[in-house]
Amino acid sequence: DYKFWKTQPVARLDEKVDQEGEINVGKTPADVPAEPLPLLADFEWVTMDLTDAAETKQVYELLYGHYVEDQDATFRFAYSAEFFDWALKPPGWRRDWHVGVRVKASGKLVAFISAVPATLSVRDTEMKAVEINFLCIHKKLRAKRLAPVLIREITRRVNRQNIWQALYTVGKVLPSPVTTCRYYHRPLNWPNLLDVGFSVLPQGKTKAQMVAKYTIGLETKTPGWRTAIKKDIPQMKELFDRYQSRLELVQHFTEEELEHMLIDPHDTEKVVHCYVSETEGRITDFVSFYLLPFSVLDNATHEKLGVAYLFYYASEAGLDKPRFDPAGTKALADRLKLLVGDCLVVCKGLGVDVFNAVSSQDNALFLQDLKFGGGDGFLNFYLFNYKAFPIAGGIDEKTKEADVVKRSAVGVVML
Ligand code: JJ1
- Tell me whether residue 415 is one of the annotated catalytic residues: yes
* CA 256 centroid distance within chain: 20
Q: What are the structural domains, with CATH classification, of the chain?
A: 5-170 (3.40.630.30), 179-387 (3.40.630.30)
Q: Is residue 75 very low, low, confident or very high in pLDDT (cuts 50, 70, 90)?
A: very high
Q: Does ligand 1 have an atom closer than 6 angstroms to the CB of 402?
A: no
Q: Does ligand 1 have an atom closer than 6 angstroms to the CB of 359?
A: no
Residue minimizing CA distance to atom 27 of ligand 1: 70
Average confidence (pLDDT) over 31-58: 96
- Residue 186 in contact with residue 353, Cβ under 8 Å? no
Q: Does ligand 1 have an atom closer than 6 angstroms to the CB of 183?
A: yes
Residue minimizing CA distance to atom 33 of ligand 1: 170
pLDDT higher than 90, residue 372: yes
CA 375–ligand 1 middle distance (angstroms): 5
pLDDT (0 to 100) of residue 405: 77
CA 224–ligand 1 middle distance (angstroms): 33
Atom of ligand 1 nearest to the CA of 72: 9
Model ipTM? 0.98
Per-residue pLDDT of 231-254, as tens digits, reads 999 999 999 999 999 999 999 999
Residue minimizing CA distance to atom 16 of ligand 1: 373
User: pTM (2 decimals)?
Assistant: 0.97
pLDDT (0 to 100) of residue 84: 95
Q: Is residue 1 very low, low, confident or very high in pLDDT (cuts 50, 70, 90)?
A: confident
pLDDT (0 to 100) of residue 404: 79
Q: Does ligand 1 have an atom closer than 6 angstroms to the CB of 297?
A: no
Q: Does ligand 1 have an atom closer than 6 angstroms to the CB of 133?
A: yes
Per-residue pLDDT of 318-371, as tens digits, reads 999 999 999 999 999 999 999 999 999 999 999 999 999 999 999 999 999 999
pLDDT higher than 90, residue 403: no
